């Protein structure tokens, strides 16, 4: 049994076209319907999720995803939520767009999951700025009742896929950074 199932992942290119994959090449866009229906048949109680990156902000990729979600809902395809991969930098400032994306998902009667969060730093960025971005993204989740999950894409910079940008809440020596404490503080306020 699976609690939350990332059924379909990263279906769109940045320009909103469907990504060429083995599934798309074999079945066209209907592969998404088939995958969700099969997942529901395999585990009727699982929360079935579509997951993608760069869809928490306005743009052609998000537009394509929302069009797909509306179509899935109209065809009664069993989908329960949307996973947002949020790989951003410490200068990130598109919180209003993120809140709007969360609102649009909730308006489709779907749950929201932040599935992959990291906040990279460039030279000149501070850990305090990084912590603020983490905290504000958590706040966007907490302020949206349909947000059901919030997870980082790792916890220590030592093993991060973006290690060179020190994006996580613990440094390479497993010491907590300001982001760790900012999230704790925000969760205690909730």
Active-site positions read: 10, 116
74: Cβ–Cβ under 8 A, 6 or more apart, which residues?
Answer: none
Q: What phi and psi, each to the nearest 5 degrees, are found at residue 73?
A: -65, -40
25: Cβ–Cβ under 8 A, 6 or more apart, which residues?
Answer: none
Dihedral of alpha carbons 58, 108, 133, 152, sign: negative
CB contact at 8 A, 91 and 48: no
Written as one string, the DSSP assignment of 159-190 is G-TTGGG--SSB-TTSPBPHHHHHHHHHHHH-
Q: What phi and psi, each to the nearest 5 degrees, are found at residue 43?
A: -150, 90
123: Cβ–Cβ under 8 A, 6 or more apart, which residues?
Answer: none
CA-to-CA dists, residue 72 to 66, 67, 115, angstroms: 10, 9, 21
């Amino acid at each position: 049994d699976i609690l939350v199932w990332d059924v379909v992942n990263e279906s769109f290119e940045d320009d909103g076209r469907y990504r060429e994959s083995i599934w798309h090449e074999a079945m066209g866009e209907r592969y998404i319907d088939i995958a969700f229906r099969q997942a529901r048949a395999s585990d009727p109680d699982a929360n079935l999720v579509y997951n993608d990156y760069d869809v928490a902000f306005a743009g052609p990729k998000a537009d394509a995803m929302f069009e797909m979600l509306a179509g899935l809902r109209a065809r009664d395809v069993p989908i329960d939520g949307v996973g947002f991969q949020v790989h951003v930098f410490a200068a990130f400032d598109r919180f209003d767009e993120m809140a709007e994306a969360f609102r649009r998902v909730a308006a489709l009667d779907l749950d929201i999951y932040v599935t992959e969060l990291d906040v990279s730093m460039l030279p000149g960025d501070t850990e305090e700025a990084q912590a603020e971005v983490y905290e504000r993204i958590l706040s966007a989740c907490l302020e949206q009742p349909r947000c059901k999950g919030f997870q980082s894409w790792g916890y220590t910079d030592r093993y991060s896929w973006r290690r060179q940008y020190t994006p996580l809440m613990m440094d390479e020596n497993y010491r907590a950074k300001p982001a760790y404490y900012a999230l704790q503080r925000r969760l205690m306020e909730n």
